[in-house]
Chain A
Amino acid sequence: MTPFIDVEIAGMAFQMFADRGLYWPAHRVLFVADTHFGKDATFRRFGIPVPAGSTDATLAAIDRMIDASSTSRLIILGDMFHARSSLSPTTCRSLDAFFERHPDMRFTLIRGNHDRHINSLPESWPIDIELPGGLIENVILAHEPGVVPEAAFLMLCGHIHPSVRVGSSHDRLGKIGCFWLSQRCLVLPAIGVFTGTHAISPATDDRVWLALDDCVREYRVG
């Protein structure tokens, strides 16, 4: 079981997972952002020794959330692969197995800035690629955050790998990955295990949820 909490945003009910995904029960869609599959392979390709295993761990997190929900569609909000060299034989084998595990699932990738090499994806993979800006109900799907048009209720995106620095002068806990809601734009934390984070400075009327190991917890700002 992977822990999650129920949250209501713009009048819609969602579930936020500690595994860093967002589930929308009304549409049975699971959103994740910035998987950066095969980043370890890219490093190795360039002579930097990084052990394999992070791609499988990221996929396992997605599996856990699929098992804990009634997901029928997985949407990756950009940056699925890290670079062209990420599509190494080991990475591809891991992805093959993932797709085989979920034969009835619909997969969509919202194209992100790391997805330039998307044309070289194996044809056997059952994944649709969409440009950012598409809608489900009044929710915009994107990779990079932006201004949300009046007509839309919410924008879901990634790209930033948001985290907040948590601590006081007595107790420093460092950067913790988070969901960040700002001006009707909800930024998901990067789900990729081998990815860094960017510390954000949320405004006072923003909302922030920390993705901790064993729970999701809202962090009140200011």
Chain B
Amino acid sequence: MPQSRPLSASKIIDDYFRRIGWKPFRFQRSAWRAYLDGDSGLIHSATGTGKTLAVWMGPILQWMRENDDSSKWNSKRPPAARVLWITPLRALAIDTENALRAPIDALGLPWNLESRTGDSKASAKARQLKRLPTALVTTPESLSLMLTHVSLIPQLAGIEAVIVDEWHELLGTKRGIQVELALARLRRLNPAIRVWGVSATLGNLDQAKQSLVGAEADLNRVRIIAGYKKKKIKLESLIPDKMERFPWSGHIGTRMVPQVAALIEGVSSTLVFANTRSQTEIWYQQLLKARPDWAGRIALHHGSLDTSVRKWVEGGLREGSLRAVVCTSSLDLGVDFTAVDLVVQIGSPKGAARLLQRAGRSGHQPGAVSRLVFVPTNAIELIEFAAVQDAIAGGNLESRPLLDKPLDVLAQHVVTIAIGGGFVADELLAEVRSTVAYQSLGDIEWQWVLDFVVRGGSSLTAYPEFHRVTVHDGRYVVTERRTASMHRMNIGTIVSDASMSVRFLKGATLGTAEESFLSKLKVGDKFLFAGRLVSLVLVRDNVAYVRKATGSADTVPRWMGGRMPLSSELSAALRLRIEQASTGHLIGPEMKSLRRLFEIQRRWSQLPRQDELLIEQTETRGSHQMFVFPFEGRLVHEGIAALVAYRLSQLQKTTFSIACNDYGFVLQSPHRIDVGKAVEQEVFVNESLVSDVLSSMNATEMAKRQFRQIARVAGLIQAGYPGARKSASHIQASSNLFYEVFCQYDPDNLLLQQSRREVLDMQLEIERISTALDRIQGSRIISTSPPKTTPLAFPLLVDKLRERVSSESLADRIARLQQQLEKAADSVTRKARSST
């Protein structure tokens, strides 16, 4: 009977699952059904279980239905390209390929499966240009690159499904937008294409789904499927043994090493997450010091380590031969390590979704419990952890805010399409507007992007002799091979800081460190790197050569990379927890352990309720501090602090130095601020926010920094690739230089405007600042003058990362610096004299 044939395909799948000892979950079955109906969708779950097979078996079932006579399957003649699998990390491509291969082999499918990433061999890539495999694992960058090859277009038109893995990592980034644009192109080539995403659970799943399938998709044909929900998660905090001695500030937390070592001892395999790469180096050393016998059985893993080192660590985790790995977000993604049965989070996770995902890295056997232990690095962080549990329990997971039509990514995409066969302006505009990111793209912006790639800039400015894209009979094309190959070399939106590789004299590469760090070292300086103590021998040809060292480190590399601010969901939960504490309701072990700290805070000052804003004023060593606690996250505080300092300095001539953290900020000045008067004079109001923020911060400097990425994406800076010949040096210029030249000779350039907008939206989170100011305006101000620095204020007082608000000229500032230097030099000489 013909009807039984589809069933037999599912039966084969059931058999397959039985053989690997699993039973398909209900969500997997619904994903397969939806796929077979021709639908698209997004599968999400906080912890990963079975998501890969949920999306992967759909295309396989479809093919088996179409080819139900297995005697005709011939692995020498694999089917034409059907599935594209997009992974955000090329390091994951091989793992992904292995995971996808297992069912193909077990079912005896005649499919061929290959990867195509920046790491693939040139010969394999050339072969793929002639004929793509049935299923291809690739990255966003490689996908865009494929669109530049005219010969691939007919094959790409035959693609039945695109699957985007870890979509939450891409969403809200320029790489994500690059994917959206590529998906729009594939949809145009094959309107019936199915697009499936796999994501962690987010606050804005609808937006995540819509970005994937485009603004014009028929939403009746797009599913959101929740993954396995029954996973049990256990979250707990490691309360310090001697709470009364535990510091109020700090962010390394190595005081907790003995307790953490004891925890690791009690289980078979642990992932220890730290927030920064330097923190992993320090914790790894300290754990080894506490348990010297663990040498070789614990390891560290972060993004700056050499690939071979990371591969070795990942292998050890997979086999379960490593007792513990200290890592950064570098192990947030990727194939699951079934042996891991405990996750330790050192320091604040800064977000609920992130913590949940990390917890899910443990307890991977079906039925096992995911267990995460939180280790505070200072006392206040325990409140954050109490708050994070509230956010998770309430389902208040963070959203990934979307980016709105970045023109640099669009300019890059337009050139990509012009190389890959060219386009007609109106058709491409319709295609671009079908994405969520560019659905509101205006005609003027579109025209500007076309002018940018054809003439260099708007038609009013002079860009003589410029050639990138040319127009032939209304068709935009790239004719020069040099332009095409330069563009291919520079496709992508990832911009990394200038880095150098760190290598032993004898040859082995340890990893990379930022040039800015290495350039400050002197030969012989000892530093911790890749879990070893090394000393610098010499720097040559962008390589820092080191040798093993003994003794103690002079320094730990500091890799840039933003410190994450507290999410707004977590901030809200935190304010609620503080309010509970203000009324004496201490719920949970974390809050109870802080009883004494809260008492001190209340005795010396106050604990604010959610509708109150606490301001503390103190005086130490002749300078006045004004501490303000909005509990809104660091970036918001940076903005508000600069704003308030600027507005106050307009009222009263003074200089402020500013420090911020996730709870509040401090303004330090030689004069005491009258808080009542300041509030009266509206230093906290929302009015003229943008213009005041822009004049208060060194917004030009920030825009210049932001412009770096934009210049790179829009094709101004040619990054080339490692090992490329240096012949292009005559067209190298720094982004600063570009920024200045544009400001001077083409001030209306939309890329400049974009960099300013990105500073406001992404760096300063202007929306959050505005919401916070609205909240503050509705709050009661509590102004106190504590006798000593309070527990809440203390971390701000000792923070050394300070900004200044100043209106002096460059020359004046240099003169002052010079004076300071001379004073310092004088005092050194005086000391030298007095000691003799």
Contacts and interface: CB of A to CB of B under 8 A. Distances in A.
Contact of A173 (B461, B483, B744, B813): B813
Contact of A52 (B464, B749, B820): B464
A37 to B, nearest CB: 13
A200 to B, nearest CB: 13
Contacts of A44: 456, 463-467
A194 B741 contact: yes
Given A47-B468, A57-B744, A217 B733 contact: no
A52 B746 CA distance: 9
Contacts of A54: 741, 744-745
B715 interface: yes
A41 B813 contact: no
A171 B814 CA distance: 9
B585 interface: no
Contact of B731 (A43, A215, A219): A43
Nearest to A57: B744
Interface string B722-753: 00000000110110111001101110010000
Interface stretch (A7-15, A26-34, A68-76, A162-170): A162-170
B804 A170 contact: yes
A196 to B, nearest CB: 5
B464 A53 contact: no
Contact of A214 (B745, B804, B811): B811
B803 to A, nearest CB: 9
Given A51-B741, A82-B730, A195-B737, A88 B716 contact: no
B462 A170 contact: no
A39 B810 CA distance: 28
Given A44-B463, A171-B804, A166 B814 contact: yes
Contacts of A57: 744
B770 interface: no
B389 interface: no
A90 B811 contact: no
Contact of B465 (A39, A90, A212): A90
A90 B465 CA distance: 9
A34 to B, nearest CB: 13
Interface in A167-191: 167-171, 173-174
A166 B733 contact: no
A89 B464 contact: yes
B468 A49 contact: yes
Interface string B470-489: 00000000001011001000
Interface string A85-124: 0001110000000000000000000000000000000000
B785 interface: no
B514 to A, nearest CB: 16
B463 A52 contact: yes
A83 B730 CA distance: 7
A151 interface: no
B810 A212 contact: yes
A136 interface: no
Instruction: Bin the interface of chain B by size.
Output: 35 or more
Contacts of A217: 811, 814
A1 interface: no
A40 B465 CA distance: 10
Contacts of A39: 733
Contacts of B464: 41, 44, 52, 88-90
B733 A196 contact: yes
A167 B817 contact: yes
A193 interface: yes
Contacts of B455: 49
A156 interface: no
A53 B744 contact: yes
B466 A219 contact: no
B462 A171 contact: no
Given A171-B813, A196-B733, A45 B465 contact: yes
A51 B745 contact: yes
B459 interface: no
A168 B468 CA distance: 43
B814 A48 contact: no
B737 A194 contact: yes
Given A47-B468, A47-B483, A52 B745 contact: yes
Given A44-B464, A48-B715, A49-B457, A171 B742 contact: no
B114 to A, nearest CB: 32
B457 to A, nearest CB: 6
Contacts of B802: 170
A50 interface: yes
A43 B733 CA distance: 9
A210 interface: yes
Contacts of B818: 219-220
A196 B730 contact: no
Nearest to A45: B465
B817 A49 contact: no
A115 B375 CA distance: 62
A215 B657 CA distance: 28
B413 to A, nearest CB: 16
B629 interface: no
Most B Cβ at <10 Å: residue of A48, A173, A196: A48
A47 B486 contact: yes
B813 A53 contact: no
A150 interface: no
B452 interface: yes
A210 B457 CA distance: 34
A56 to B, nearest CB: 9
A14 to B, nearest CB: 21
A170 B463 CA distance: 40
B718 interface: yes
Contacts of B814: 166, 173, 210, 212, 217, 219
Given A41-B464, A220-B818, A212 B811 contact: yes
B754 to A, nearest CB: 15
A50 B741 contact: yes
Interface string A206-222: 00001011110101101
Given A167-B817, A170-B657, A46 B738 contact: no
A166 B817 contact: yes
A161 to B, nearest CB: 11
Contacts of A46: 482, 486, 731
Contacts of A52: 462-464, 745
Interface in B153-203: none
Interface of A: 39-54, 57, 82-83, 88-90, 166-171, 173-174, 193-196, 210, 212-215, 217, 219-220, 222
In the A-B complex, the 6 residue pairs with the smallest Cβ-Cβ separation, listed nearest first, are A49-B456, A53-B745, A51-B745, A51-B746, A44-B466, A47-B468
Interface of B: 452, 455-457, 461-468, 480, 482-483, 486, 657, 701, 715-716, 718, 730-731, 733-734, 736-738, 741-742, 744-746, 749, 800, 802, 804, 806, 810-811, 813-814, 816-818, 820-822, 825
7 contacts: A47-B482, A49-B466, A51-B462, A90-B464, A168-B817, A174-B701, A219-B818
Given A51-B746, A52-B463, A174-B701, 17 more contacts: A43-B733, A44-B465, A45-B466, A46-B731, A48-B718, A48-B731, A49-B457, A49-B468, A51-B749, A53-B745, A167-B817, A171-B806, A173-B813, A212-B811, A213-B810, A220-B818, A220-B821
